[in-house]
Amino acid sequence: MSTAGIGFEKLFVETMMGLAPDPGKIRVDGAPIDMTDIASNKCFSLSFASGMMPGPFGMATILPELAAITKIQMDLIYKIAKYHDKLDKVNRPLVLYVFACALGVTAGRLLVQKVGSRMIIKALSTQAAQKTATAIGARIGSSFVQRSAGRWLCVATAPVFALLSKRMTEKVGQYADDLFRQDIDIEKIEV
């Protein structure tokens, strides 16, 4: 693995975790399904509105749109964790795992091991976390390229990308809820 790849992974993970909410200010707004529904509708609206901007103006909205959607999804993960009284268990590998599952990145499964009714979350310094961060970054980069092309055909693509944002947020909520329903142990492994 090149040093450029490692630098990108660290930048990506730090940026994503920088979007995490202040744990003291998290407010639970109902059951996880309700919070997921609200968050997914916000993402749909945000993505649709951003996607309607044509040409170069639309291109300028892509990064802020992706950051805002990721922020809504991070908030959702933390709210669901708080709902299940597991806010203290939220860490980088766990967040990477939820995003990896929602994006269909199989490398995310390397971060978690199910033992009986417990989920063991492995430390971020493992190769699995680096591999997962790279795969998630590649998926988000692909999304950026797709959205760039779509900004020139905004009337046709805005609803499609909005629906994709909504579905992704629904998956984030579902995987977070499934994860936080279980007992979680954090395993410190230094590789």
Q: Residue 64 is part of which domain span? A: 3-10+30-187
Domain presence at residue 182 = yes
Which is more confident, 35 or 141? 35
Buried b (16+ CB within 10 A) or exposed e, 8-40: bbeebbeebeebbbeeeebebeeebeebbbbbb
Section 78-85 average pLDDT: 96
- What is the radius of gyration, based on Cα positions, of the chain? 17
Residue 156 covered by a domain: yes
For the residues 28-37, what does the mean pLDDT come to? 96
Instruction: Tell me, yes or no, whether 23 lies in a domain.
Output: no
Mean pLDDT of the chain: 79
- pLDDT at residue 10, rounded to an integer: 63
CA 167 to chain centroid: 12
Asked whether residue 16 is assigned to any structural domain, the reply reads no
Tell me the CA distances in angstroms from 126 to 35, 69, 132, 138, one per residue in order: 32, 27, 10, 19
List b or e across 74-99, with b for residues whose CB sees 16 or more CB atoms inside 10 angstroms. bbbbbbbbbbbebbebbebbbbbbbb
Measured distance CA(88)–CA(173) in Å, rounded: 18
The tally of domains found in the chain comes to: 1
pLDDT confidence tier of residue 78, bands split at 50, 70 and 90: very high
Q: Is residue 18 part of a domain?
A: no
Please check whether residue 107 lies inside any domain of the structure: yes
In a domain, 63, yes or no: yes
> Is the pLDDT assigned to residue 22 strictly greater than 60?
yes
Establish if 175 belongs to a structural domain: yes
Given 3-state DSSP classes, what are the helix, strand and coil percentages for the chain, each rounded to the nearest 5?
Answer: 75, 5, 20
The residue-averaged pLDDT of 126-138 equals 65
pLDDT number for residue 3: 43
